[in-house]
Structure 1
């Protein structure tokens, strides 16, 4: 099973938002040294706690500082872009870092209604999304009405971030699929992945490929790992309370903040959804899910306030699955 890393360029209290971007570059360099297969950058627009609104720009910087690790988007949210522009950006990245670029495409719109209005797209149907995905591929493979430049000898592979109808689209187009969130805890996961594999229509020799994405944090003990997960979990709780996703805060600062019974329950539920624990605990959880899903790859996406602890967690996870 391959191991990859998804980074959201999380901002942190006490630091300028811009610091999150060199932090992402440094994390990618460390991921390459630790043996990770891919390093993907997320796309979020006008979110206070996330600095990465343009994955292609960040990936260009990371490509200049790495040599082997694959780089991609997790993902470019296609409703916000025209297919030609996406193809041009990733063909440029492929030219700068040959043979290392992935195009991860997602369907999510903006975080809030004002952001969606600013992006100019407030809704998108599954078929609209499928057409745009096919259009990106046509541009990458020089089969569209116009040719995206610079042309590549081997176009970067595409991956689909999918839930619900996204699995059907990925199977129909012969694309690898990335799944995360509550779907990983669903009893229907094996059945849905089986349907994807059975319905898969190969494209230029492609085969079904399943990547599971989860927040994973590793420490000496389960209790220490749970503390690492607290800043991200508390940010999720605050986003539901305040309507804005905040920067990561320290564990000490979070402990001093009052919370009502509903917020305490939501915090506990969010922590339960995180794969946080000792090496033994995390290995067991990964093993159980991989056995039931038959997944080919794990895309770890953990984050915490303490960057040194996060770097240690990344190293431990890589060593665990080496």
Structure 2
């Protein structure tokens, strides 16, 4: 199975955003040593606790610190940027690190209304994702009136991060699809089926290519694997009740703190739907997921407080497939 990594540069209690970014670069070197295929970074704006706000800049640092692993974005949120500028940025990356750069693109806008206003974009921009994608790809193929240097003529593989309508956009443009399993297995399979049915071969891909994105936590015991999920689950519950992501805290600290009934419900909900357990349990769950979806690749994300335990999880997972 082809396995890749998505890291969101999460801040941990007792440290800050600069440390989170440096941790991401160090983690990329470790992922390369373990044999992972890609290492992608994300884009979040105005979100305390998430340091990854400039993915192409961070991707450059990751690519400079590694030598073999493919490096990309999961993803650049296209509605936040002019397509020409995005093309130029990836053209620079591909020129500096030829044959190693991926262009993962999403259609989300800011986390809250104030952030969207600061970015100068809104939900209508997200709805126009297909137009922006076509324009962006045109700068690489030379089909635009303005030439996007140094992107013009380069081959940077595009990926669309999407569900529902976004999956149909990926199919119409003939590009690989990255889809999260967090919305539920049946909904994910429906979107993948629609993507494959509507796929139009293009200069970027002759046939559909599906990457499943999933949170995966592996440990020697099922209890330890579950505990890896606790810090991020609480951060998600906190964000939905208070509007920001707190730094990741130790599982014992999370479990010991009082929660309102709403917080408790959101916390428990955020713990569901992930792949976690012992190596044999995770292998069984991932094999089932890949069999049902016929996915070509799995993009793994694991955010937790203990970096050593996180790396152990990725090491155990690599030992199953790589």
TM-score, normalization by structure 1: 0.96
- Cα displacement (A) at 1:256: 2.6
- Cα displacement (A) at 1:318: 1.2
CA distance in 1, matches of 2:194, 2:17: 42
CA distance in 2, matches of 1:145, 1:152: 12
1:233 equivalenced with 2:269 (yes/no) = no
- Cα displacement (A) at 1:274: 2.1
- Cα displacement (A) at 1:152: 5.9
CA 1:264–1:128 in 2, change beyond 3 Å: closer, same or farther? Answer: same
CA distance in 2, matches of 1:247, 1:140: 39
Q: What SS does structure 2 have at the residue aligned with 1:45?
A: coil
* 2:26 match: 26
1:294 equivalenced with 2:294 (yes/no) = yes
CA distance in 2, matches of 1:190, 1:47: 30
Asked if the contact 2:78/2:107 (under 8 Å) is kept, the reply is yes
CA distance in 2, matches of 1:140, 1:247: 39
* 1:5 match: 5
- The count of corresponding residues between Structure 1 and Structure 2 is 321
Which segment drifts farther, 66-75 or 246-255?
246-255
Asked if the contact 2:182/2:214 (under 8 Å) is kept, the reply is no
* 1:135 match: 135
Paired residues for 1:181-200 under 5 Å: 181-183=181-183, 185-200=184-199
Paired residues for 1:1-322 under 5 Å: 1-124=1-124, 128-151=128-151, 154-183=154-183, 185-204=184-203, 205-322=205-322
Deviations 1:143-181 (CA, angstroms, capped at 9, x unpaired): 211111124654201000011101111111001000014
Q: Which runs of 5+ in 2 are unaligned?
A: none
CA distance in 1, matches of 2:143, 2:127: 20
TM-score, normalization by structure 2: 0.96
- Cα displacement (A) at 1:27: 0.7
- Cα displacement (A) at 1:245: 1.3
- Structure 1 residue runs of 4+, over 6 Å off? none
Q: What SS does structure 2 have at the residue aligned with 1:215?
A: strand
Q: What SS does structure 2 have at the residue aligned with 1:71?
A: strand
CA distance in 1, matches of 2:65, 2:295: 30
CA 1:142–1:153 in 2, change beyond 3 Å: closer, same or farther? Answer: closer
Asked if the contact 1:3/1:299 (under 8 Å) is kept, the reply is yes
Asked if the contact 1:9/1:50 (under 8 Å) is kept, the reply is yes
CA distance in 1, matches of 2:199, 2:80: 27
Asked if the contact 2:142/2:153 (under 8 Å) is kept, the reply is no
Asked if the contact 2:4/2:299 (under 8 Å) is kept, the reply is yes
Asked if the contact 1:63/1:96 (under 8 Å) is kept, the reply is no
- Cα displacement (A) at 1:257: 1.1
